[in-house]
C-alpha cells in the first residue's frame, strides 16, 4: 500500500456526499417542524445519528481489541485505533449538538444529567485511549495496553446507552423504536442523516487505517536502517 485512496473509498466518498446532500434537503427544507420540539427537531437528524455512529465505532474498537489480544494482529490493532479516533470525533459532535439542542429545550447548554455526565466521561475515557496509543512505547506494549483499555471502555458505552432507563434525568427517553415519536418525513430525514454520517465514518476509518498502516511501515523501515547503521559501526 502506497496511498490511502482506492475505488472503494471513492465509491463510499461519493455516496456519502450524495446522502449528505439529500439529508440536508430533507432535514432543512422538505421535513416540517415537530409539534412539541418545533424546528429544533432538525438537530435530531444529526445528534442521534452521530451518537449511534460513535457506538458503532467503539464496537469495532472492541472487536479489534479482542482479536488483537488473541493473535497480536497488527491489522486489527490499527482497525481498533482507527475506529476509536473516528468514534471520538463523532462523540464530540454529539456532545456539541446535544448542548445546542439543550438550550431551547432545557434553557441551558449543560446539565449534570445522568446521560450527559456519563457521555462526557465516555469522551474522556476514549481521549485517554487515544493518548495511550500515542505514547512513546514499543509497538507491542502500546498496542496491548490500548487493547485492554479498548475492552474496558465498552462498559461505559453500555452505561451511557441505558442511563435514561436506569436513572431519572432531563434527557428524553428513546425517540425511535416500535412506536417512534417522530414519523413520516421526519423519520425519513433521520434515516438519511444516519446513512450519511455512517458512510462518512466508514470513509474516515478506512483512510485512517491506511495512514496508520503506512506509518507502521515507515517505522519498520527506520528501524531496519538504524539496525544496519549500528551493525556498520560494529564493523
pLDDT tens readout for residues 116-159: 889 999 999 999 999 999 998 888 899 999 999 999 999 999 99
pLDDT tens by residue, 37-82: 777 788 888 998 999 999 999 999 999 999 999 999 999 999 999 9
DSSP 6: -
Altogether, the residues listed in the chain come to a count of: 235
Residue with cell 434553557: 107
What is residue 104's predicted lDDT score, i.e. its pLDDT? 78
> Which of 97, 88, 95 lies closest to 117 in space, CA to CA?
95
What is residue 179's predicted lDDT score, i.e. its pLDDT? 43
CA-CA distance, 84 to 103, in Å (whole number)?
Answer: 29
Residues 6+ away with beta carbon under 8 Å from 36: none
CB atoms within 10 A of CB 227: 10
Residues 164 and 112 sit within 8 Å (Cβ to Cβ): no
Q: What is the mean pLDDT of the chain?
A: 85
What is residue 20's predicted lDDT score, i.e. its pLDDT? 96
Residues 45 and 23 sit within 8 Å (Cβ to Cβ): yes
CA angle 134, 73, 211 (to 5 degrees): 50
pLDDT tens by residue, 161-219: 888 777 776 566 555 544 455 667 888 898 999 999 999 999 999 999 999 888 888 86
Percentage of the residues of the chain whose pLDDT score is greater than 90: 53
Residue with cell 417542524: 33
CA-CA distance, 183 to 18, in Å (whole number)?
Answer: 23
Nearest-Å Rg of the Cα atoms of the chain is 21
CA-CA distance, 200 to 83, in Å (whole number)?
Answer: 12
CA-CA distance, 116 to 103, in Å (whole number)?
Answer: 14
CA-CA distance, 65 to 60, in Å (whole number)?
Answer: 8
CA-CA distance, 235 to 233, in Å (whole number)?
Answer: 5
The whole-angstrom distance between residue 218's C-alpha and the CA centroid of its chain comes to 26
CA-CA distance, 60 to 82, in Å (whole number)?
Answer: 9
Amino acid at each position: 500500500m502506497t496511498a490511502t485512496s482506492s475505488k472503494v473509498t471513492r465509491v463510499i466518498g461519493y455516496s456519502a456526499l450524495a446522502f449528505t446532500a439529500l439529508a440536508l434537503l430533507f432535514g432543512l427544507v422538505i421535513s416540517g417542524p415537530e409539534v412539541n420540539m418545533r424546528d429544533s427537531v432538525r438537530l435530531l437528524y444529526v445528534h442521534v445519528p452521530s451518537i449511534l455512529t460513535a457506538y458503532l465505532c467503539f464496537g469495532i474498537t472492541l472487536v479489534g481489541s479482542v482479536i488483537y489480544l488473541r493473535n497480536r494482529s497488527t491489522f486489527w490493532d490499527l482497525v481498533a485505533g482507527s475506529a476509536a479516533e473516528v468514534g471520538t470525533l463523532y462523540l464530540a459532535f454529539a456532545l456539541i449538538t446535544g448542548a445546542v439542542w439543550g438550550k431551547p429545550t432545557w434553557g441551558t447548554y449543560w446539565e449534570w444529567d445522568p446521560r450527559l455526565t456519563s457521555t462526557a466521561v465516555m469522551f474522556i475515557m476514549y481521549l485517554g485511549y487515544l493518548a495511550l496509543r500515542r505514547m512513546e512505547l514499543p509497538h507491542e506494549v502500546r498496542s496491548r495496553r490500548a487493547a485492554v483499555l479498548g475492552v474496558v471502555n465498552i462498559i461505559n458505552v453500555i452505561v451511557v446507552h441505558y442511563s435514561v432507563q436506569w436513572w431519572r434525568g432531563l434527557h428524553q427517553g428513546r425517540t425511535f423504536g416500535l412506536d417512534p415519536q417522530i414519523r413520516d418525513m421526519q423519520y425519513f430525514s433521520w434515516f438519511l442523516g444516519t446513512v450519511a454520517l455512517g458512510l462518512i465514518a466508514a470513509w474516515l476509518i478506512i483512510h485512517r487505517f491506511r495512514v496508520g498502516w503506512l506509518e507502521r511501515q515507515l517505522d519498520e523501515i527506520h528501524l531496519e536502517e538504524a539496525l544496519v547503521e549500528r551493525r556498520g559501526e560494529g564493523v
